Structure 1
């Protein structure tokens, strides 16, 4: 079953032998990679379990009630120190935020300049609006004034 018969068989399947071999190789590599990942996860999980077991069994073997009480008091003291530090940091952060808000609302050095610039822009905008309105009123008056129409008709 040499060349032509083999070529016909692969042509009937729609793939060349090289494509089939490459696909097979990719599948094997993917399966191998997946097996390595599973083994790696298993070893990592086992290492975590062993470390926890060692810690749990080593610390509690020979502890007296006085030691347990002292450790609990130390833990409570550390917790209270941490809470005090966090309260202080939170207070400082609130003060900084309040100062920043005061500065942005108008307590800062640039606030007066910004207010003045805002007033100037508002005044110029109002002045432009007023001149446009006057011009429009004048044009309307010229169009609708009967005396002016008579004067313009007599002058021609």
Structure 2
């Protein structure tokens, strides 16, 4: 028959193993929650960025109307070109500069979750503009001015 001290020692080991299992389970569930939270934070940050871009585009359109609808205005030290409908147009230039200048005018913060776009894709032709700003998380912010309609979207991976 095992001694009382031995039974207490075995019980203590089981108790410690049980606590270890509980702590590991809690840590794993915490890590799972943190990943879900990270995804939610990322989605929210991109939604806020696109909202700010749209707000700035609308603000510039209001200034365009109040200024008599000129083709170009100087706003915040930048020459801003406008479409016939009053939406900000990208400046003429090479493909990369066209999209980058448009992004800088519409979103001078340039940063979403401590990142600037890792690359830019230009799908513009004639008077239709479409630029994708690609971030390392795999998300894209797409800004379009096609047939006089301005739009902005977030494209996931």
Q: What TM-score does the superposition give when structure 2 sets the normalisation length?
A: 0.34
Q: Which has more strand, going by share of residues? A: 2
Q: Which has more helix, going by share of residues? A: 1
Task: Give the number of the structure whose alpha-carbon radius of gyration is greater.
Answer: 1
Structure with higher RCO (Cα < 8 A, 6+ apart): 2
